[in-house]
Amino acid sequence: MTHVTNNREPLLTDHVDLLQESIENTRKKYPFIIIAWVILPDHFHMIINPLEGNLSSLMRIIKLSFSKKIRNLMDAKGGRIWQNRYWDHIIRNEEDLNLHIDYIHYNPVKHDVVGDPFSYFYSSIHEYYMQGFYSRDWGVKKIKFPGEYGE
């Protein structure tokens, strides 16, 4: 799934701790498995497997939690934090899963945040590398992904 901030405001990486706290607090109440993730300044991608509840409810809770935290931090009474909708995709098979994991891990390079996906901190790519799923030179050369990914 992909979630984008309102008007693509670049506030997620500056407040990544609040987003991660919102995700973890939600996961404690409504268990889900995070398969892959990346947080960029104005959007984030996650592949999750909900163990309870449904995807839409989980995302609503995460976004509301983060919105409340960021408003408190900024001493704001209101204002939109997120775009109204999010993009989701049902994983069809292992090939589809692997393609989406790669897309997520390549996303900081795609958006010209870094030239090497391993130099980007807010990503699960490091966990995958430690498990041997990627070589250290993966993603340094331009990769084109077929299909839609919710950007």
Give the residue numbers annotated as catalytic, written as ranges: 122
Q: How far apart are CA 140 and CA 151, in angstroms?
A: 21
Contact of 105 with 36, CB cutoff 8 Å: yes
Of 65, 58, 125, 86, whose CA–CA distance to 1 is shortest?
A: 86
* Strand runs labelled E in 13-122: 32-39, 43-50
Pairing between β-strand 43-50 and β-strand 2-4 as defined by DSSP bridges: antiparallel
Contact of 139 with 116, CB cutoff 8 Å: yes
